[in-house]
Amino acid sequence: MTHRAYSALLLATALLASNAIAQMPAGYNADESAIQPYTLLDPLTFSNGRPVRTPADWPRRRAELLHLFEQNVYGHTPAAANHIPLRVHIDETDTQALNGKAIRKQITIYFSSRLEAGPKEHLLLYLPTHHHGPTPVILGLNFFGNQTVLADPGIRLNPTWTRPPKSTEPAHLVTPDEKSRGLQTQQWQVEKVLASGYGFATIYCGDIDPDFTNSIQLGVRPLFYPAGQTAPAPDDWGALGTWAWGLSRALDYLQTDKQVDAKRVAITGHSRLGKAANWAAAQDPRFAIVLSTESGKAGQSIYRRRYGEDIAHLQHSFPHWFCENYAKWVGHETEIPVDGNLLLALIAPRPLYVASAQDDLWSDPHAEFLSAVDVSRVYTFLGHQGLTTTTLPQPDQAVDSPIQHDVAYHIRTGKHDVTAYDWGQYLHFLDQRWGRQ
């Protein structure tokens, strides 16, 4: 990695972890009292106005919701992409990693029959050596490369995308600097996860699709164009869809690893990668638990409150995340036929932890709570227990961790980030559902 690229990585890391994103840019509503009356979309009413009467009706409503998200937000995952054979290479297994505390495996998952030459993702997997038997695993995408999640010299430095300061210059792949190891240690808390008896797995999102506009040719999307197609159709998947798909391909591998309990894979993600985690769990029922951190608008938050980020901002700054149809909803927050509460409904009745941060006004933490409240009706409807409060809890006081509750929530003090506090709550939530490891 060049010095300039490394500085760009440091800057990007600092930005993600700083208040720069948490603070509200001028011109966006940050005033609770200015919110206009709105009606939430009802997960338990079909689009034609008929009620979802019994749990037996739910699969039909669920299919309808999935279709609405595909059509209007994330785009369709091409059928061909969902049926690729699993092609992996175990690049490394170290049974004495982290001073003997973990088994570390690094696995390349190939997406095309061209193997090395085609797109692929690199899965980093740690399993705690003190755990006996197949191990439950927490899986999530990372922003800057696997080596950033922990300062472990054994993690391979796979190429990551770098963006030159001038946006006119093309982005390119570089091998990261040794100095980037462990830059996101606080955000991932890998050693704490392992000490709690869980495995930890991660992939760099840019392996699947680079996170910048006009990058389609550099990611997986062209691989699945039918013959003759050269550009995306209006409802073809965007980067969020590809990232979600990449998570499912990692799960395909985990299902073949006898040291992993693939029926107990929790999925997590922060911010844009939280949106991707939500969408992955919505589409793929094999993900057993969702730990969703500040996924904001186009994630667990609610457009209809018109507070914080809006569709215009998402569409103008990150058009590559979405299908082209999403542009139709710019300025139409109260008309878009989906919202955060419906996205969470696609996760029901699997255990779901929704986390917010008090200063993350851009994501609208209050709306994230209201989504968790509203989706709780779906859990109850399906015979499970959701949140039992409708009042935003005090910061740093998690609600509804008791074992019988399948929806939990906290709002933490501080900015847009993932902290040891968040992880502490998540691990407690997993312990209660899966038993202490």
* Closest among 377, 389, 369 to 348, alpha carbons compared: 377
* Tokens standing for residue 427: 């691990």
Q: Binders of ligand GCU: how many residues, by CB under 6 A?
A: 9
Between 207 and 309, CB nearer to ligand GCU: 309
HSE, CB side, 13 Å, CA atoms: give it for residue 292. Answer: 40
Interactions with ligand GCU, residue window 290-329 (CB under 6 A): 296-297, 309, 314
Q: Is 416 a catalytic residue?
A: yes
Using rule CB under 6 A, residue 21 touches ligand GCU: yes
Out of 196, 271, 301, 356, pick the active-site residue. Answer: 271
Binding status of residue 238 toward ligand GCU by CB under 6 A: no
163 scored as a contact of ligand GCU (CB under 6 A)? no
Please report how close the Cβ of residue 432 comes to ligand GCU at its closest, in angstroms. 28
b/e per residue, 53-69, with b = 16+ CB within 10 A? eeeeebeebbeebbebb
Nearer to ligand GCU, 16 or 265 (CB): 16
Report the distance separating Cα 312 and Cα 289, nearest Å.
Answer: 31
Strands (E), 185-326: 199-204, 260-270, 289-293
Q: What angle do CA 358, 8, 211 make, to 5 degrees?
A: 70
Nearer to ligand GCU, 162 or 271 (CB): 271
Alpha-carbon span 269 to 14, nearest angstrom = 18
- Give min distance, CB of 33 to ligand GCU, in A: 24
Q: Footprint of ligand GCU on residues 246-275 (CB under 6 A)?
A: 271-272
Query: Which C-beta is closer to ligand GCU: that of 238 or that of 296?
Result: 296
Which of the residues 131, 366, 410, 416 is marked catalytic? 416
What residues form DSSP beta bridges with 236? 76
The one-letter amino acid code at 287 reads: F
Least separation in angstroms between CB 310 and ligand GCU: 10
Burial of residue 34, with CB atoms counted within 10 A of its CB: 0-12 exposed, 13-18 middle, 19 or more buried: exposed
- Return d(Cα 398, Cα 389) in angstroms, integer: 11
CB of 263 to ligand GCU, least distance (A): 30
Which residues have a catalytic role annotated?
A: 271, 416
Contact set with ligand GCU (CB under 6 A): 16, 21, 271-272, 296-297, 309, 314, 362
